[in-house]
């Protein structure tokens, strides 16, 4: 499995996510969530203090039980994605800008460690996929990043038979599946991180 070195990844932050995608019908949706997190899977985190669960908007990691095969070597793609996210958030505050909620009420957000867009970096390294479920916001720039990772055979793209997580069925072997039907919008910019709050002394984070 080929991965890019994290020190070699430079993410150019473009235009802000369109304002229309930053609102939600639920007025209780927090605009920003900040603090230490517990990683639930490769694209979902839970803030330790507030217990808010957040899934990355425009990105989806392999399911935890998915296994890829590269050059006749099996490797746990779902567990690798979760471990990747743990390593990049451990001992760091995560700064999320909420976008909306999904059909299950989970908050969808763009999440950062300092200025690093976690979803964009994961896609760059072939850890997961640019994807949005129907009616969910998308990030066109993620698809551009994904095309490069796919062309270079990074990570999940090193196994052409690995089912994408939205098609994965645990009781069936990995077979090539239809790709995402998400349509890309013309805006190529990546989301920007919200300004990190400065918590008062002795104030819990998250």
> What was the pLDDT predicted at 189?
79
The per-residue pLDDT for range 90-143, each reduced to its tens digit, is 999 999 999 999 988 999 999 999 999 999 999 999 999 999 999 898 899 999
What is the percentage of the chain residues whose pLDDT exceeds 90? 65
Alpha helices in 66-203 (DSSP H): 77-89, 118-124, 140-152
pLDDT reading at 150 higher than 90: yes
DSSP assignment of 11-39 equals ----SPPPGGGS--S-TT--SEEEE-EEE
Residue 38 Cα distances to 21, 46, 52, 204, angstroms: 26, 5, 10, 15
Give the residues across from 33 on adjacent strands: 96
| Residues 124, 145 contacting (CB under 8 angstroms) | yes
44 strand-pairing partners: 41, 55
CATH architecture of 29-195: Beta Barrel (2.40)
- pLDDT value of residue 202: 60
Mean pLDDT, rounded, for 9-16: 36
pLDDT band at 27 (very low <50, low <70, confident <90, very high): low
Q: How confident is the model at residue 26 (pLDDT cuts 50, 70, 90)?
A: very low
pLDDT at 25 over 60: no
Among 20, 47, 48, 11, CA closest to 32: 47
> Rounded to an integer, what distance in angstroms lies between the CA atom of residue 196 and that of residue 188?
24
Neighbours of 146 (CB within 10 A): 23
Q: Which of 3-12, 37-46, 180-189 is predicted most confidently?
A: 37-46
The residues with which 2 forms a beta bridge, in sequence order, are 154
Who has greater pLDDT, 169 or 130?
Answer: 130
The DSSP output letter for 176 is -
- pLDDT bucket at 195, cuts 50 / 70 / 90: confident
């Amino acid at each position: 499995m080929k991965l890019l070195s994290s020190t070699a990844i430079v993410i150019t932050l473009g235009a802000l996510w369109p304002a229309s995608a930053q609102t939600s019908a639920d007025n209780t949706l927090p605009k920003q969530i900040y603090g230490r997190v517990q990683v639930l899977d490769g694209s979902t985190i839970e803030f330790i203090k507030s217990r808010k669960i957040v899934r990355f908007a425009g990105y989806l990691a392999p399911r935890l039980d998915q296994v890829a095969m590269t050059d006749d070597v099996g490797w746990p793609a779902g567990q690798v994605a979760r471990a990747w996210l743990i390593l990049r958030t451990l001992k760091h505050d995560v700064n999320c800008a909420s976008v909306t909620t999904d059909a299950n009420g989970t908050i969808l957000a763009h999440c950062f460690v300092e200025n690093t867009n976690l979803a964009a970096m994961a896609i760059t390294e072939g850890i997961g996929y640019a994807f949005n479920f129907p009616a969910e916001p998308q990030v066109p720039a993620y698809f551009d990043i994904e095309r490069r990772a796919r062309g270079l055979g990074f990570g999940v793209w090193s196994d052409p038979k690995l089912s994408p997580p939205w098609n994965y069925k645990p009781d069936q072997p990995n077979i090539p599946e239809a790709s995402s039907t998400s349509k890309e919008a013309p805006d190529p910019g990546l989301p920007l991180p919200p300004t990190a709050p400065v918590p008062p002394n002795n104030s819990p984070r998250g």
